Chain A
């Protein structure tokens, strides 16, 4: 994985670390919604909700779409797929570290 992809993932994971932003993603997961409806659903001001939507957009987790004159926000499934693939790397990465930690110590003790 390249440095750029890692930087993108880091953005996405930081965005997801916030409970309000996860709540927003839950609101828009099944259908695109305007910011007013999202704000009402999560109990935040429209301004705060817009800020969080901006963070989610920059992180590649949400997209803005237009339906006539209405501006709607939806989940960006491409961004979420990238985070999912990161998670699949969690245990393989950790097991590789376990192997490295043990084998380097064994080599030192017996070398």
Chain B
């Protein structure tokens, strides 16, 4: 199983950043057009990104430092609701908060051209990737 890691520094307190990961309005300010979030262990994590229903649960909620959610797509056979894991770690730094993201339990993408890799990888691409234009600012949901 593959994983993806990235991090970014944000000029705001961990508490502020945490709110953007745990409130409906905070979430849709940066990801998706609709969110229904219940940030308690086992609580609902639902975000629609350009019509693609990301569904999972809050697995670990430790304000304001750590958040783990399960992540998949309603109706997908290949990456069903809750199938992968996304972890956010928020660390206080001098000028704000460092957000470290780890998306794990993903289908293996490393074995290029290898049968099993592609079989798992392509459906994942379809659901995650079809979310829309990757540009950071001018992204809009696709008109229906």
Contacts and interface: CB of A to CB of B under 8 A. Distances in A.
B94 to A, nearest CB: 16
B122 A91 contact: no
A63 interface: no
B118 A75 contact: yes
B31 interface: yes
A4 interface: no
B17 interface: yes
B143 interface: no
Contacts of A86: 125, 129, 134
A90 B136 contact: no
Contacts of A30: 115
Interface residues of A, number: 40
Contact of A83 (B9, B113, B129, B131): B129
B6 interface: yes
Interface residues of B, number: 40
Contacts of A87: 109, 124-125, 128-129
B80 interface: no
B31 A26 contact: no
A72 interface: no
Interface in B101-125: 101, 103, 109, 112-113, 115, 118-119, 121-125
Instruction: Across the A-B interface, give the 6 residue pairs with the lowest CB-CB distance, nearest first.
Output: A16-B126, A101-B29, A97-B30, A98-B30, A95-B8, A96-B136
Given A26-B118, A77-B112, A101-B29, 5 more contacts: A22-B123, A90-B129, A94-B30, A96-B8, A102-B16
